[in-house]
Amino acid sequence: MTPEDRSSAIPPSPAGLAPPAAAVSTAAPVVPPPSENRFYYRFTPGQRLLHATLFTTFLGLALTGLTLRFSEARWAQAFAHAVGGFGAILFFHKTMAVLLTVAFLVHLAIILRRALLKRELGLLWGPNSLVPQPKDFSDLLAHFRWFLGRGPRPRFDRFTYWEKFDYWAVFWGMAVIGISGYSMWFAPYVARIVPGSWLNVALLLHGEEALLAAWFIFSVHFFNTHLRPGSFPMDTVIFTGRLSERELAEKHPEEYARLRAAGKLEALRVAPSERWFIAVGKTIGFIAITIGFVLLVLTLFSFV
Ligand code: HEM
């Protein structure tokens, strides 16, 4: 029942008389609309640091890796020349691969510790989990119906189905790209264990998966997080860790309603970020989006 429905359910009082006592006590309190100036906590400093490491190393790996892959192209040769040649490019690529691997392993260790030792089972199942839930499949269908104007917009919970997709894509991406990358790096040792032809397969897998991942991140992920209506021109939540009450109510209405109903919302209330901090976040985000977009265009043109 909306507040309007509730107030219309109160019997009208005769003109000039106070409303009946029963009517006064059942009247719904006026609920203020979600505010643009109240902020709530979404990501911990550790999660933001992990994302920062992931996105800087991924950008570096894509930039250096795609320069290796398109080494015949003039842009790749110019870039390699500017940083000291293709040998230097490979050195940077391997350095960032190690950093990304360490970040990935630390993340895995934290998740396993929380789930298995601290028994935070909500990580594995439920509305706060990144594990796909039945609701994600119905949300996906409802979202496509909404795109076609044939139904209401689904009410998303803490993580939407596409945010979960992005999260798990990194897992299988790391498996494919990591195993193939380290196989090429340590080729003489790997060739003692598996047939040498695996190294050809590894090179092919590595290059194709890299292109798929880079194109996906630089188009779909960037669009979903920064360019879609409601987030344009940039969503700063992953830098500041907080979002406004309006954003929470619009983007995650189910989580917002759940937290309010359980009386847990106010415990998440935080002060707004400093303006300089938002400006730094936006500048870094803008640089990342620009590099990604330039790489997307250059690699697409290198194909034609
Ligand atoms: C653990 C992570 C990674 C490791 C260990 C790794 C390692 C390597 C190595 C050793 C090479 C050189 C292969 C050669 O000698 O020709 C290479 C090439 C390459 N890497 Fe990675 N890499 C990793 C992650 C990534 C990521 C995340 C991307 C892009 C998003 C990427 C994109 C590429 C590309 C496009 C090439 C060139 C492949 C080709 O020539 O077709 N790599 N990588």
**How many percent of the chain have pLDDT more than 70?**
90
Which of the residue ranges 13-17, 180-184, 277-281 would you say has the lowest mean pLDDT?
A: 13-17
Nearest CA to ligand 1 atom 43: 181
The rounded Å distance from CA 73 to ligand 1 centre is: 17
Is the pLDDT score of 26 beyond 90? no
- What are 102-161's pLDDT values in tens digits? 999 999 999 999 999 999 999 999 999 999 999 999 999 999 999 999 999 999 999 999
Count how many Cα atoms sit within 13 Å of the Cα of residue 191 in the half-sphere of its side chain: 10
pLDDT single digits (tens) 58-81:
999 999 999 999 999 999 999 999
Is 147 among the domain residues?
yes
3 has a pLDDT exceeding 90: no
Residue 172, in any domain of the structure:
yes
The conformational region for residue 25 under phi > 0 = left, psi -120 to 50 = alpha, else beta, is alpha
Mapping DSSP to helix (H, G, I), strand (E, B) and coil, where does residue 242 land? Answer: strand
**Residue 106: closest CA among 159, 174, 38:** 174
What is the rounded CA–CA span in Å between residue 190 and residue 176?
16
Ligand 1 pocket, mutate which of 64, 68, 101, 104 (most atoms under 8 A from CB): 68
pLDDT per residue over 95-111, tens digit each? 999 999 999 999 999 99
Ligand 1 centroid to Cα of residue 219, in Å, is 20
CA distance 243 to 97: 32
**pTM, two decimal places:** 0.86
Contact residues of ligand 1, CB 6 A cut-off = 58, 61-62, 65-66, 68-69, 90, 93-94, 97, 100-101, 177-178, 181-182, 184-185, 203, 206-207, 210, 213-214
Listed in sequence order, the DSSP H helices in 186-274 are 187-193, 197-216, 222, 237-240, 245-251, 253-261
What pLDDT score was predicted for residue 233?
80
Mean pLDDT taken over the chain:
89
For residue 236, the enclosing domain spans 41-303
Integer Cα distance of 236 and 43 in angstroms? 11
Q: 135 lies in a domain? A: yes
Say if strands 269-270 and 242-244 run parallel, antiparallel, or are unpaired.
unpaired
Domain count, the chain: 1
Kindly state the average pLDDT of the residues 30-39.
82
For residue 79, the model assigns a pLDDT of 97
Task: Please check whether residue 62 lies inside any domain of the structure.
Answer: yes
Minimum CA distance residue for ligand 1 atom 40: 69
pLDDT band at 14 (very low <50, low <70, confident <90, very high): very low
Burial class (CB in 10 A: 0-12, 13-18, 19+), 229: exposed
Tell me the mean pLDDT in the region 239-268. 95
Rounded Cα distance between 60 and 95, Å, is 10
For 194-203, what is the mean pLDDT?
Answer: 96
**Ligand 1 center from residue 169 Cα (angstroms):** 17
Predicted confidence at residue 8, as pLDDT, reads: 33
For residue 30, being part of any structural domain is answered with no
Q: What's the CA-to-centroid distance between 61 and ligand 1, angstroms? A: 7
> Is 159 within the bounds of a domain?
yes
CB neighbours (10 Å) of residue 26?
12
- Give the percent of the chain with pLDDT over 90: 80
Domain for residue 276, yes or no? yes
CATH number, residue 298: 1.20.950.20
Measured in whole angstroms, the distance separating CA 62 from the mean position of its chain's CA atoms is 18
Q: Residue 215 pLDDT more than 90?
A: yes
Q: Is the pLDDT of residue 299 over 50?
A: yes
| Residue 28 confidence (pLDDT) | 62
Given a cut of 70, whether residue 7 has pLDDT beyond it is: no
Tokens of 163: 């945010």
Q: Is residue 196 part of a domain?
A: yes
